Amino acid sequence: MQTSTDQARHILKATFGYDDFRHHQADIIDALINGQDVLTLMPTGGGKSICYQIPALIRSGTAIVISPLIALMQDQVDALKQLGVSAAFLNSTLNAGEQREVEDKLRSGQLDLLYMAPERLLNHQMLNMLDRCKISLFAIDEAHCVSQWGHDFRKEYQQLSMLHERYPEVPRIALTATADARTRGEIIHQLALHQAGIFVNSFDRPNIHYAISEAGNGRDALWHFLSDNHANDAGIVYCLSRKNVEATAEWLNEKGRTALPYHAGLAQEVRSRHQQRFLREDGLIIVATIAFGMGIDKPDVRFVAHMNLPKNIESYYQETGRAGRDGLPSDAWMSYGLQDVINLRLFIEKSDADEQFKRVMLQKTDAMLGLCELTGCRRQALLAYFDETLAEPCGNCDNCLSPPETWDATIAAQKVLSCVYRTGERFGAQYVIDVLTGKSSERIKHNDHDKLSTFAIGGEHSGAEWRGIFRQLIAHGYLVADAEGYGVLKLTQKAWPLLKRDCAESVRLRRLSKPASTRTKKT
Ligand code: ADP
Ligand code: ZN
């Protein structure tokens, strides 16, 4: 007799054309076929889809796939139809006649897979219809959307726990590419997956080269990076604001690249046209806010460039993970500056979220900053954040390939802290830098700050160097940007021992590097 494993292997080859299962795919498929619930955490591109598609073909009935990404349903269903699988989707892009046709197929048991958004599934009519159908399994894609701490929170996802009560005999699989322990716990709790088999794949993306640098002018750095490494490649450039998205796209076009903007302020029709061109044409650059990319399945994205700090490591990992899904060498490149560090904290502190939420968000921001200012292997730190241990430094990140120089910045730090203190903790970084470097502007004279003992004591560093020092002192927790005062810098508890010189502590900072532009391999 053919076991379910043999059957799965046969379908893998006959329908999907692959010889072997990857990682945990075989175990996941086995569990589902046998009626067990499953939670799977796998990086983007890891091969989540066939984990439910193959069981959908083996178990009798229709598999209901819940996905928040209406734009992607069409692509996935088209791909399945090409393979000869009977699949369909239900969403607002269908007209009444088309919807009825899909519903008829569902009722008569002709569908192996049916994709829909959670709000559609939770609709009474839909549930009543499903009550009368044979359902093989529920696949809950992008399951991290249940997490209210995450970047894609959707409240309908939290109601999906009802599937368990309404259809206790139907196995469920929850899938996500977000893997921190907190999110994992929330998925299990919210979706009532306490009995589920949990399968966690390595989150390492060894073909992605990570590089993070601070740069005075992000655009120049970006241009160097592109012309040195990706003169003709397709990639994504992420900017924080819509305005910057537009301006950067325009600038890249002037430079001779084909670049298209993508953000939530553009008409839906423009957005989908740009997305389609990105998928179909070679060498195109999409300049986007984070509105772009969830579920984009383009295998040959050769680089993802960040012009600002992402707000946490999960976002950084997800966004950079869109590079190199085909397994070929790819770059995750970032350039950030002092203002990013300040803005990120201000944004959280000024939001009207409750205190606990803000605290969690600030911790996440600090972890992101820690990754940026790190002098060791980026990949080890990134994976450690997802509770994964990489035994050796990776040899494929900027810090591994050219270890950053550090310097004893104790005296510089003391000058900064002292100058912040003496100007009354009432000014932003640029003003304090002007005092340190001895610029006698009207404002400084008006405040009598040209008479301070800390006026013009910082001539040994340029303005750009001082900005780097300020940024790192904020990142290391000696200074905070005050939310009330739009970036006014204040001293922290940690600053005092250093300022009073009553500690033996020395401050070591990264020396400002040349923007990481070339991916020179160690030989
Ligand atoms: P995810 O949803 O995890 O991002 P997909 O399910 O889209 O990933 O799979 C990513 C790519 O890997 C797809 O092109 C898919 O066809 C391919 N793939 C999945 N499983 C296998 C396998 N066992 N062998 C070879 N390729 C596979
Ligand atoms: Zn490394």
* 157 touches 145 (CB < 8 A): yes
CA of 88 to the centre of ligand 2 (A): 43
Mutate to test the pocket of ligand 1, among 38, 48, 49 (most ligand atoms within 8 A of CB): 49
- Give the closest ligand to the alpha carbon of residue 210: 2
Does 100 contact ligand 1 (Cβ within 6 A)? no
pLDDT at 294: 64
CA of 398 to the centre of ligand 2 (A): 7
Does 79 contact ligand 1 (Cβ within 6 A)? no
The letter for the amino acid at 68 is P
CA of 209 to the centre of ligand 2 (A): 8
pTM: 0.72
pLDDT at 5: 84
Atom of ligand 1 nearest to the CA of 12: 23
Structure tokens at 497: 């021992």
> How much is the ipTM here?
0.96
Does 293 contact ligand 1 (Cβ within 6 A)? no
pLDDT at 523: 32
Does 210 contact ligand 1 (Cβ within 6 A)? no
pLDDT at 203: 86
CA of 346 to the centre of ligand 1 (A): 40
Structure tokens at 431: 């003003």
Does 45 contact ligand 1 (Cβ within 6 A)? yes
CA of 206 to the centre of ligand 2 (A): 10
CA of 476 to the centre of ligand 2 (A): 21
Rounded-to-integer distance, Cα 307 and Cα 470, Å: 19
* 63 touches 89 (CB < 8 A): no
CA of 515 to the centre of ligand 1 (A): 34
Give me the tens of pLDDT residue by residue for the chain, a chain 523 residues long. 678 888 999 999 999 999 999 889 999 999 999 999 999 998 877 889 999 999 999 999 999 999 988 878 888 999 999 999 999 999 988 999 999 999 999 999 999 999 999 999 999 999 999 999 999 999 999 999 998 777 678 889 999 999 999 999 999 999 998 767 788 899 999 999 999 999 988 889 999 999 999 876 789 999 999 999 999 999 999 999 999 999 999 999 999 999 999 999 999 999 989 999 999 999 999 999 987 776 677 889 999 999 999 988 888 998 999 999 888 999 999 999 888 888 888 888 888 888 878 887 887 888 898 899 888 899 999 988 877 888 899 999 999 999 988 899 999 999 999 999 999 999 988 999 999 999 989 999 999 999 999 999 999 999 888 988 988 888 788 888 776 656 788 898 889 999 887 767 788 888 875 544 445 443 3
Does 43 contact ligand 1 (Cβ within 6 A)? no
CA of 409 to the centre of ligand 2 (A): 25
3-class secondary-structure state, position 339 = helix
467 Cβ contact list (under 8 Å, min separation 6)? 216, 337, 338, 429, 433
Does 243 contact ligand 1 (Cβ within 6 A)? no
**On the CB side of 57, how many CA atoms lie within 13 Å of its CA?**
23
Rounded-to-integer distance, Cα 509 and Cα 296, Å: 38
Atom of ligand 1 nearest to the CA of 51: 6
The residue contributing the CA closest to ligand 1 atom 24 is 18
Structure tokens at 472: 């790192």
Buried b / exposed e across 33-56, counting CB within 10 Å, b at 16+?
A: beeebbbbbbbbbbbbbbbbbbbb
Rounded-to-integer distance, Cα 33 and Cα 36, Å: 7
pLDDT at 279: 92
Atom of ligand 1 nearest to the CA of 295: 4
Does 42 contact ligand 1 (Cβ within 6 A)? yes
Does 322 contact ligand 1 (Cβ within 6 A)? no
3-class secondary-structure state, position 395 = coil
Does 47 contact ligand 1 (Cβ within 6 A)? yes
CA of 12 to the centre of ligand 1 (A): 11
Does 50 contact ligand 1 (Cβ within 6 A)? yes
Does 404 contact ligand 1 (Cβ within 6 A)? no
The residue contributing the CA closest to ligand 1 atom 21 is 47
pLDDT at 179: 66
Q: What is the DSSP string of 157-222?
A: HHGGGHHHHH-TTS-EEEEES---HHHHHHHHHHTT-TT-EEEE-----TTEEEEEEE-S-HHHHH
Helix pair angle (25-33, 49-58), 10° resolution: 40
pLDDT at 295: 60
pLDDT at 520: 47
